[in-house]
Amino acid sequence: MRIALFPGTFDPITLGHVDVIRRAIPLFDKIVIGVGLNSSKQPMFTIEQRLGWIDEIFRDTDKVEAQSYEGLTIDYCEKISARFILRGIRYVSDFEYEKGIADMNRMLSKHIETIFLTSSPQYSTVSSTLVRDVIRYNGDVRQFLPEEVQWK
């Protein structure tokens, strides 16, 4: 079974994330969206909100599920029998950063491959960090988020 882990904080999940996941569905038997718990980051939204949004967005497919995890991503891949890590790439700078992580993961576990999908052009500027900044200043973020993502 081809299982991929798509790790991230998804704080919040954006249309860019959803685009990458939807385009990856035909490539894998199962995609686990791993919402990482990172002690060095203070999320804007609770883990329950983020998992709930993901479950709602992908309610129509049994090939996608959301789970939270802590620790090394490569260890979580082992736990869920994922042989692939899925990552979205927006810019060359994303690739440089993600390649370093992929190389480290490859040294830690030689049988887990990282698969990069480039973002669709309309989502290349969308990031959770920028969306959170707009939210902090009461801006309208509807064009960047799935309609299922609501927090008020």
Residue 121 falls inside a structural domain? yes
Q: How many domains does the chain have?
A: 1
SS3 5: strand
Residue 33 falls inside a structural domain? yes
Catalytic hit among 17, 50, 87, 119 = 17
Q: Which residues partner with 7 through β-bridges?
A: 34
Q: Please state the pTM of the whole predicted model.
A: 0.94
| pLDDT at position 18 | 97
State the alpha helices, DSSP H only, in 67-127.
73-80, 92-108
Residue 48 falls inside a structural domain? yes
| pLDDT at position 151 | 61
Residue 43 falls inside a structural domain? yes
Residue 62 falls inside a structural domain? yes
CA atoms within a 13 Å half-sphere pointing along the CA-CB vector of 4? 24
Q: Has residue 107 got a pLDDT over 80?
A: yes
Look over the chain and give the mean of its residue pLDDT values, rounded to a whole number.
Answer: 94
Residue 85 falls inside a structural domain? yes
Q: Give the tens place of pLDDT for each residue, 12-60.
A: 999 999 999 999 999 999 999 999 987 677 899 999 999 999 999 999 9
Q: Has residue 87 got a pLDDT over 70?
A: yes
Nearest Cα to Cα of residue 148 among 58, 69, 17: 58
Residue 27 falls inside a structural domain? yes
Q: Side chain identity at 112, as an amino acid letter?
A: I
| pLDDT at position 152 | 54
Task: Using only the alpha carbons of the chain, give its radius of gyration.
Answer: 15
Q: How confident is residue 93, by pLDDT bands cut at 50, 70 and 90?
A: confident
SS3 7: strand
Q: Has residue 90 got a pLDDT over 70?
A: yes
Q: Give the tens place of pLDDT for each residue, 118-133.
A: 999 999 989 999 999 9
Catalytic hit among 41, 59, 79, 142 = 41
For residue 130, CA distances in Å to 104, 125, 136, 144 come to 27, 9, 10, 10
Domain with 89 in it = 3-144
Per DSSP (E only), the strands in the chain are 3-8, 30-36, 64-69, 84-89, 113-118
Catalytic hit among 50, 87, 119, 128 = 128
Q: Is the distance from CB of 86 to CB of 4 less than 8 angstroms?
A: yes
Q: What is the CATH number of the domain that holds 140?
A: 3.40.50.620
Residue 152 falls inside a structural domain? no
Q: Is 127 a catalytic residue?
A: no
